[in-house]
Chain A
Amino acid sequence: MATVAVSSETSQEVQKTTDLSLYHQVSQFLFEEARLQDDHEYDDWEALWTDDAIYWIPANGADIDPENKMSIIYDNRSRIGLRVRQLNSGKRFSQEPRSSICRTVSNIEVRELDNGEIEARTNAMIFESNLRGEQLWSTRNTFLLRREGDSFKMTKKIVVLTNNDKAIYTLAFLI
């Protein structure tokens, strides 16, 4: 069963923020990221990442060691860029035509970490329609964000698919 692990940068003791303004800003950022993914705005989405970013979608649980075990995605910054360039090539057939996507992001929890980064947790339900048919995806997500001007950048995003221990169809849109 896939459960969300506490990322190594955080501890359970860190309190959720009581700063409503911060909570609002983070929520707006998360909704924007979701919208860019739904709209296939690949370049704008890529611009949300820091240079040292990690984009991780584990398989077979949430607490596997990605250095030693297979993940569905375990991208560093340059591989995120490669993924985007492939999507932009016009010949990424699993996204040509692009899936129609609609996702709902909820259960937002925000914590300020000692190192100044912000951890956000969310759940998402994602409905995909493509040539094969319709497909529902369900995820629990952990973000690490860094302040950048009056917004944020993502330095880490972990997407834990609820069924990541089972056989799943192609997942070629941005999740």
Chain B
Amino acid sequence: MMQNSQVNFDSLITSNRVHGSLYSDEALFREELEKIWFRTWVYVGHESEAPNPNDFVMKSIGPQPIIMVRNKDGELRLLQNRCPHRGNQVCVKNSGNAKMFTCPYHSWTFSNSGELIGYAFPDGYAGHPDADKTKLGLARVPRVASYRGFVFGSMAEEGPSLEEHLGGAAETLDRLCETSPEGEIEITAGFLQHKTQSNWKFLVENETDGYHPAFVHASIFNVADSGIGGLYGAESTALARDYGNGHTENDLRPEFRKFDEPLRWFGTDETRLPDYVSKMNAAYGEKRAREIMVDGTPHVMIYPNLFIAEIQLFVIQPTAVNQTIQHVTALQFKGAPDLNRRMRQQTMGSVGPAGFLLADDSEMYERTQRGVESRDPEWLFLGRGEQRETRDENGFRVSHTTDETPSRGIWRHYKSLMEA
């Protein structure tokens, strides 16, 4: 149920400080579910995960499961996994192909668009004024929209359109898709699920925190001879950007343009991926293909739960005030098998419970969660670079990639959602 906030957010969030209780207050977490997770656009899945009619895959919005299903007419629906009879879960499989869902408890049967088709022993309902089949279907997520194959759901009947929500950050998804010679990404490699004992907002903020990699990930940058470290050094020309609406980015293109080497962003060069390079040249022309291959894919956090980290896709799922699951998979680019193979190999090394990078990020999430439960100094200071922030040609706030422009943008948006 809707919580009526007693909280005055002016007293918890300033332009460069946030109060520690925002990460640990149980009542506030329930209020966030209502005002953010069950209201705004939340990323659910990718169209390629249910490519054929009657395909379904279990996804989530906030803590609750959502069945993403393509009905027989090919339209995507987001259904809640709760039988309108007595509440049983109608589906316990993670994925499959089904024209219908039958609830195992009393055998009510639903089409994969959610309509109630029939109930067992129907004479018990014959003539009952409230047993109207059209009102006893599975609940649908009221608004479903997709952008370049990325499917979002909003539990609010009305509100800004998905395009309005994405705003300037939509361009990052365009950029991502252009890395495929066919202009599409696919999600086909399956997900790792990494649990962490931390509030979801620590994860969202960390994704575009360009200040930590030099320290948290030194252990792997040093031994793996990786070029990533330099992107987040004090001398880097990369930018942190706040797109508004909570979306933030580490824009690494200035660094890659400085070197001007195709596929450097992926730690390789053109000779290693000849098929990919020739397909890109054929698709976009040599000049444009080269630009795309120099720039690389984005590092962008689409609020509140979709994180594109160059070669991976993460979905952030809050399950309790101090527990969050990161679902992560390798991005796959349509028409690029040689690129995709390396994507999977690098992703497996980097992320998930045993990942060279994410195990240590997760360690920081958990220590920070325990840290903010100490009383003082009460506030977190997020002022890094505020004094040197500027606006880019589109009017978005930008600063050095190690600056806390993204965190400040995330909190500005959070405040506006929670005060609404």
**Chain A residues at the B interface, C-beta cutoff of 8 Å:** 57, 59-60, 64, 67-75, 79, 82-83, 85-86, 89-94, 131-132, 165-172
Say if the beta carbon of B360 comes within 8 Å of chain A.
Answer: yes
Bound form: Cα–Cα A93–B94 in Å = 33
Question: Chain A residue with minimal CB distance to B218?
Answer: A91
Cβ of B190 to closest chain A Cβ, rounded Å = 4
Question: Chain A residue with minimal CB distance to B225?
Answer: A82
**Chain B residues at the A interface, C-beta cutoff of 8 Å:** 94, 188-197, 216, 218-220, 222-224, 325, 328-330, 341, 344-345, 347-349, 352-354, 356, 359-360, 362-364, 366-367, 370
Cβ of B160 to closest chain A Cβ, rounded Å = 31
Contact residue among B192, B220, B360 (Cβ-Cβ distance under 8 Å from A59): B192
Contact across chains for B222 and A89 when beta carbons are under 8 A apart: yes
Bound form: Cα–Cα A131–B353 in Å = 16
Add 12 more A-B contacts to A91-B219, A167-B193, A171-B359 (CB < 8 A). Answer: A59-B352, A64-B190, A70-B192, A70-B330, A70-B352, A86-B223, A86-B356, A89-B223, A132-B197, A167-B195, A168-B194, A171-B353
23 contacts between A and B (CB under 8 A): A57-B354, A68-B344, A70-B190, A70-B328, A70-B352, A72-B353, A75-B349, A79-B349, A82-B356, A89-B222, A91-B218, A92-B219, A132-B197, A167-B325, A168-B193, A168-B195, A168-B353, A169-B196, A170-B196, A170-B362, A171-B354, A171-B359, A172-B363
Contact across chains for B219 and A167 when beta carbons are under 8 A apart: no
Q: Which residues of B contact A167 (CB under 8 A)?
A: 193-195, 325
Contact residue among B188, B194, B224, B329 (Cβ-Cβ distance under 8 Å from A170): B194
Contact across chains for B354 and A72 when beta carbons are under 8 A apart: yes
Q: Which residues of A contact B366 (CB under 8 A)?
A: 131-132
Cβ of B10 to closest chain A Cβ, rounded Å = 34
Cβ of A165 to closest chain B Cβ, rounded Å = 8
Cβ of B341 to closest chain A Cβ, rounded Å = 8
Question: Chain A residue with minimal CB distance to B353?
Answer: A171
Contact across chains for A170 and B353 when beta carbons are under 8 A apart: yes
Q: Which residues of B contact A73 (CB under 8 A)?
A: 348, 354
Contact residue among A74, A86, A90, A168 (Cβ-Cβ distance under 8 Å from B220): A86
Contact across chains for A93 and B360 when beta carbons are under 8 A apart: yes
Cβ of B151 to closest chain A Cβ, rounded Å = 20
Q: Which residues of A contact B193 (CB under 8 A)?
A: 59, 166-168
Bound form: Cα–Cα A85–B222 in Å = 10
Q: Which residues of A contact B195 (CB under 8 A)?
A: 167-169
Bound form: Cα–Cα A169–B191 in Å = 15
Contact across chains for B353 and A92 when beta carbons are under 8 A apart: no
Bound form: Cα–Cα A92–B349 in Å = 14
Contact across chains for B220 and A70 when beta carbons are under 8 A apart: no
Cβ of A126 to closest chain B Cβ, rounded Å = 14
Contact across chains for B344 and A70 when beta carbons are under 8 A apart: yes
Question: Chain B residue with minimal CB distance to A69?
Answer: B190
Bound form: Cα–Cα A83–B360 in Å = 13
